Structure 1
Amino acid sequence: MKPEPGGELIRNNIDDAIDTTQFQNALALIDSNYNIVFVTGQAGTGKSTFIRYLREKGGLNAPVLAPTGVAALNVNGQTIHSFFHIPPRIINPDEIRPLWNRRLFEVLRVLIIDEISMVRADLMDIIEISLRKNTGRYSELFGGVRLIVVGDLFQLPPVIASQVESRYIFSRYKTPHFLSSNCMSTARLGMVELTKVFRQQDLTFLKLLSNIREGNDLTTTISEFNRRCHIGNVEEDGVIILTPDNATAGWINHSRLSRIQSPEHEYEGIIVGQFNIETDRLPAPKNLKLKAGAQVMLTKNDSNHRYVNGTIGVVKELSPQAVIVES
């Protein structure tokens, strides 16, 4: 996922963007009787700009949610799990209880979800059930709340982290995508695809992404990406390296850590409950080795909103009880 440019560029783009027929069609759909409006388009077509417009000038006063902390940060929003107070795991619909802040849901009329391609079908159904229970409007789909979902189904798919999740999903849904959820079978869906590219400074890169997205001219496109791949050691500190597998990433991280001339601290994770560390994904190594000066990524959202899953920082201080990271 690549965030849209921010600041003044976004604000200057808003007025240009809403002049397009596609943006106007999307705004018209929101004012219609659809339960859910799906705004899609490839990278650079103004999807985040559209969300910014709805927030700044659309007068909707709608919460903006996303499936991950980084995605929520990019749109100044909140994660889906945080908003609905649900854990990041398979949830039985019977577990959903009305929340203490019912007043928020009673006045809720519109909800915006970004990066909808990453929202799994079972989570979409949990969102629908939670909206019914918290608004008190049990007979209405989504509790009468209109959903505006934004994203590109050719980008990141929903995460299926284990065999247990895979069996659960494919025994209940045709695909893991939100469109295969039970609630979508009865929803009135309106859709607009944005096609005009506003990110003019990235046209070559966007063309390559579009080729990958649509399967066009793949030989030339892959050659262009391979030409930009770095082969060999990266000596410069602070550079983020993308690798195809965890083993390579682990080797690079170990190599970088060994070059730091400061004492090493090792922290052992505590596992509570039934958890198979051989097959289940851990958010961090069970035995985590750190040094002051090491670049790290945080893998949990902070309840006080100081950082999110995906925030990158540098270790400043270490003690047996705490690690201080500056982002």
Structure 2
Amino acid sequence: MKNKEIKVTTSQVANIGIDPETVYSIDEGLKSLNEQQKSIVHSVIFGGQNVFFTGPAGTGKSKVLNSIIRLNKMAKRPKNIVVSATTGIAACAVGGVTVHSFAGVGVGSEHVSKLQKKVMSNEYAKQRWKKCEVLIIDEISMMEGAFLNKLDVIARHVRSTTKPFGGIQLVMCGDFFQLPPVKAVSFAFEAPCWCNLVDKSILLTKVYRQNSDPKLVKILNEARVGALSDDSFQALVEHMKNPPTHNPQAQPLNPPSLLSSPPPSPAPVCFTKLECRNVDVDAANGTQLAKLTSKPQSWHAEDFLKVDFMANLLKHCPAPKELILKEGAQVMLLKNIDSERELVNGSRGVVLEFVHWTEGRKEDPDLTLPKGWPRVLPRVQFTSMNSDEPGETVVITPKRWENMEGDILNSSRLQLPLRLAWSLSVHKSQGMTIPNLEVSLKGVFEFGQAYVALSRATCMKGLIINNLDRNGFRAHPTVKKFYEILEKSDEAEGAKKAEEKENRQLAVSSTAPKNPLIPPKPQAPLHKPSPQGLTEEQRKKIEENKAKALLLRKRKQM
């Protein structure tokens, strides 16, 4: 798994219209990227490479995707980027479409020849393929290997070229240690086309979500690979015996007037409980909401559909079609509003009161309400991400979720970015940060499921664990082997860069003026590694690559 070198020409920089040396220091959004994240963005935007990047939960994968999209828009001649994901939930989270919808293949279970005919007979699908210059696929870990191979064949056929994926630049992101494809026969990285599609693989390592709790980071790193140590397991057992204070239900508030001042004190934020089934989630939230004695308020989402069949995509939108709240309701924020104020996707809070909608103009000066909406908005008291201390008190205004296909808007939903948060499904929690989290590990059945559930937490103080089962922390053996190769590749590339840096420093020092009073230091000669220095595994990998290359050559000759 060798990464190709980036060659950025002067003409490329002129076409992009951005100086790669300074862009990361002048833009606030890009300035906060670490070196690994910058390497991904640089490889995609300036290198034009097909990139796969991965990493544990909370390493900023979504942030990197947003930075790629942001930097492309800043370019002199932006490329036509299509943002897609393997599931409807993930597609809504990144503001794109499902990769199945983009491809025009439906479920995609038929033979590739039938899928090719389906796409070629659909003028809209055919044009999507031809106009696309860059295809982003989020949650690639949930794509079956055979389906990726079908897409490669379709892309080359529709675009009339033998280039990998029809010449479309690919950006694939996901963590194969998390939830796998449903009824998967193989992973995406096992597809025959994978090695031809990926120019560069980057493993993100710096965890941001739990950066205030090194103990939890250690436990999650072990849980992710299915190798929970005795110390880590015992730490979870002790934590389960002595859980954080758990407020089982937010207490009802006395109904204030619409413009009461000061607002009432909020009830403590409850812990969001992760459930495996949606029916249990809805039942739990409905039961808790019914216990509140205050008057309910409801908001119906304003939906836009380019065509009727896009309605299915909006079913996966995190914002509900109808939102019903009461004062005292436990809620979760569904959009990143202001990260500096800790108003991000997953932030927890309690509804204090309902205020006249014009109060929301303090947050959004251009605020208008959709026709038919009540003339009130909820004021929410949020909790600090890493403590139980009160956070921001904010009037929540409507936000829009868009499903784009390049520059074309296919569907959208305008709704308050809130949902009831007494309970949530594990599946819908993937990608979220939940500061106050209760996890039940009873009945864990899938690889990576326990890790996904625990990794939503930000610290041990905000985590309650029920039904702890050590056998539930499992990682797929094929995935483990893949990441072992990926890590060795990263280490080899790091060593190569270090050697190149040292050689540059030696070259500079050799051309620098010499002080005749100081004798030169003897330098050891630089040697290239010999074939005898290769490990058995490296030799085996080289032979496998030779065999694959020979097979590909024979296929082309047939």
Q: TM-score range by the shorter chain?
A: 0.5 to 0.7
Match of 1:55 in 2: 69
Match of 2:169 in 1: 146
Choose between structure 1 and 2 for higher RCO, CA contacts under 8 A separated by at least 6 residues: 1
The alignment partner of 1:74 has SS state of: helix
5+ residue gaps, structure 2, are 1-26, 253-268, 299-307, 325-414, 417-558
Q: 2:155 aligns with which of 131, 136, 141?
A: 131
Change (3 A) 1:216 1:184: same
Structure 1 position 122 matched with structure 2 position 135 = no
Contact residue 92 and residue 318 of structure 2 kept, 8 A: no
| Aligned positions of 1:213-292 closer than 5 A | 213-214=224-225, 215-217=227-229, 218-220=232-234, 222-223=236-237, 226=240, 241-244=273-276
User: What is the CA–CA distance in structure 1 between the aligned matches of 2:236 and 2:287, rounded to whole Å?
Assistant: 29
Change (3 A) 1:202 1:67: farther
Structure 2: which amino acid aligns with 1:62? I
User: What is the CA–CA distance in structure 2 between the aligned matches of 1:105 and 1:148, rounded to whole Å?
Assistant: 15
Structure 1 position 309 matched with structure 2 position 320 = no
Change (3 A) 1:241 1:77: same
Deviations 1:2-39 (A, max 9, x none): xxxxxxxxx85531205x155225523665575x3111
Change (3 A) 1:147 1:56: same
Contact residue 212 and residue 221 of structure 1 kept, 8 A: no
The alignment partner of 2:200 has SS state of: strand
| Aligned positions of 1:90-105 closer than 5 A | 90-96=109-115, 97-98=119-120, 99-101=122-124, 102-105=126-129
Give how far 1:127 is off: 2.1
Contact residue 170 and residue 197 of structure 2 kept, 8 A: no
| Aligned positions of 1:28-107 closer than 5 A | 28=43, 31-32=46-47, 36-58=50-72, 59=75, 60-88=79-107, 90-96=109-115, 97-98=119-120, 99-101=122-124, 102-107=126-131
Q: 1:190 aligns with which of 173, 192, 200?
A: 200
Structure 1: which amino acid aligns with 2:93? N
Deviations 1:242-300 (A, max 9, x none): 23568966985897799899xxxxxxxxxxxxxxxxxxxxxxxxxxxxxx99xxxxxxx
The alignment partner of 2:136 has SS state of: strand
Identity %: 24
Change (3 A) 1:243 1:93: same
Structure 2: which amino acid aligns with 1:14? L
Give how far 1:197 is off: 3.1
User: What is the CA–CA distance in structure 1 between the aligned matches of 2:158 and 2:179, rounded to whole Å?
Assistant: 30
User: What is the CA–CA distance in structure 2 between the aligned matches of 1:21 and 1:247, rounded to whole Å?
Assistant: 40
| Aligned positions of 1:206-217 closer than 5 A | 206-214=217-225, 215-217=227-229
Structure 2: which amino acid aligns with 1:303? M
Give how far 1:210 is off: 2.7
Change (3 A) 1:180 1:200: closer
User: What is the CA–CA distance in structure 2 between the aligned matches of 1:304 and 1:247, rounded to whole Å?
Assistant: 21
Change (3 A) 1:207 1:100: farther
Q: How many residue pairs were aligned?
A: 258
Contact residue 26 and residue 39 of structure 1 kept, 8 A: no
Give how far 1:231 is off: 9.5
Structure 2: which amino acid aligns with 1:309? H
Give how far 1:56 is off: 0.7
Contact residue 40 and residue 202 of structure 2 kept, 8 A: yes
Change (3 A) 1:209 1:302: farther
The alignment partner of 2:314 has SS state of: coil
User: What is the CA–CA distance in structure 2 between the aligned matches of 1:230 and 1:178, rounded to whole Å?
Assistant: 42
Give how far 1:129 is off: 2.5
Change (3 A) 1:76 1:244: closer
Change (3 A) 1:202 1:84: farther
Root mean square deviation, CA, Å: 4.2
The alignment partner of 1:192 has SS state of: strand
Deviations 1:149-186 (A, max 9, x none): 011111121112xxxxxxxx64xxxx3x1011232254
Change (3 A) 1:29 1:307: closer
Q: 1:158 aligns with which of 168, 171, 181?
A: 181
User: What is the CA–CA distance in structure 2 between the aligned matches of 1:128 and 1:157, rounded to whole Å?
Assistant: 21
5+ residue gaps, structure 1, are 1-10, 161-168, 262-291, 294-300, 317-325
Deviates more, 1:120-129 or 1:244-253: 244-253
Give how far 1:85 is off: 2.1
Deviates more, 1:208-217 or 1:118-127: 208-217
User: What is the CA–CA distance in structure 2 between the aligned matches of 1:133 and 1:185, rounded to whole Å?
Assistant: 19
Contact residue 91 and residue 126 of structure 1 kept, 8 A: no
Q: 2:31 aligns with which of 11, 15, 30?
A: 15
User: What is the CA–CA distance in structure 2 between the aligned matches of 1:50 and 1:80, rounded to whole Å?
Assistant: 19
TM value normalised by structure 2: 0.39
Structure 2: which amino acid aligns with 1:68? T
Change (3 A) 1:251 1:76: closer
Contact residue 82 and residue 96 of structure 2 kept, 8 A: yes
